[in-house]
Structure 1
């Protein structure tokens, strides 16, 4: 089963983001946030026909008891050409907006794909925690994204590295669904 929904109420979302930033600062001071290089440069293929390059990986010291994968997609407003590289560099500053959310395990940051959308491929501890994060993140992303371009999908019971190694582990999408979130095997 997959889970997706819309944004959290604004006040609830911004309170969650504020709590996250406080927790993130403590985690950064304790050096619990890491930037592994293993997946950087990897090209991911998605069932909608797009491909995206992983430009950063972020992970924390946590093993999920209830693993799930979260895929988030959005298209930035006003970012074209070389500005994409500037966004990739600047986006490191956004780390405190997510690592302190309860249940965060890891994130692959995907550069804008062949259709212009950015994606985050996360591992989370708990599908409900992942959904709450994505619903709060929506309120941050709507400030900089093309209206109607924000989407997320929560895939319970999956580990990120499992779906990277074997994309067939992800649920099959309906035949008519272009499954923007579903990974395909590399060429």
Structure 2
């Protein structure tokens, strides 16, 4: 996958601030939707873990012209047991931290897996935009996540729904030789 690192603090925080400002008119015009058709879907990953979709967020049609799938993983500090339920409820308040980023189209929010890791599976319009978002998001996640637990995978040219419906194309992602890839969906249920 190559070296992953966050953006410089100043650049990341400016990007997040711009995102929040861009989100306000989107919310006011009802451009942000919460579709329910994928709720409860279980995604199984190549590393042997699985998680259920507990929310989907979509901007407009949710379809990108230059599709790119982004998968982000992190493990929250101090969130165990019933605190996961509280986090999932609270996480809706985090919507302004990503919806206004240029290129965002949709996100599947996944429950914690067997290793207490959360994942977001996104579709972005443009590989560079997805990478910029992931590196900006890192600064926010670092405030609440276990050090070393934040990672992302960018799968250019692949729609999110293709990546979860047909795991074959995702095998061409960042490390195809890695059969235990945390980011590669093996199946859905």
Q: 1:9 Cα shift?
A: 0.4
Q: 1:175 Cα shift?
A: 3.8
Q: 1:181 Cα shift?
A: 0.3
SS at match of 2:119: strand
CA distance in 2: counterparts of 1:131 and 1:93, whole angstroms: 23
Could you tell me which residue of structure 2 aligns to residue 55 of structure 1? 54
With normalisation by structure 2, the TM-score equals: 0.94
Could you tell me which residue of structure 2 aligns to residue 13 of structure 1? 12
Could you tell me which residue of structure 2 aligns to residue 136 of structure 1? 136
Q: Where do 5+ consecutive residues of structure 1 fail to align?
A: none
Conservation of the 8 A alpha-carbon contact between 2:41 and 2:188: no
1:69–1:174 distance in 2 versus 1, CA, 3 Å: closer
Q: What aligned pairs does 1:84-99 form with structure 2 within 5 A after superposition?
A: 84-99=84-99
CA distance in 1: counterparts of 2:34 and 2:105, whole angstroms: 12
Conservation of the 8 A alpha-carbon contact between 1:3 and 1:131: no
Query: Structure 1 residue 123 and structure 2 residue 133: aligned?
Result: no
Could you tell me which residue of structure 2 aligns to residue 181 of structure 1? 183
CA distance in 2: counterparts of 1:184 and 1:99, whole angstroms: 27
With normalisation by structure 1, the TM-score equals: 0.95
Conservation of the 8 A alpha-carbon contact between 1:110 and 1:119: yes
Runs (4 or more) in structure 1 with deviation over 6 Å come to none
Q: What aligned pairs does 1:17-166 form with structure 2 within 5 A after superposition?
A: 17-62=16-61, 63-166=63-166
CA distance in 2: counterparts of 1:4 and 1:124, whole angstroms: 21
Q: 1:5 Cα shift?
A: 2.3
Tell me how many residue pairs correspond in the alignment. 186
Conservation of the 8 A alpha-carbon contact between 2:19 and 2:96: yes
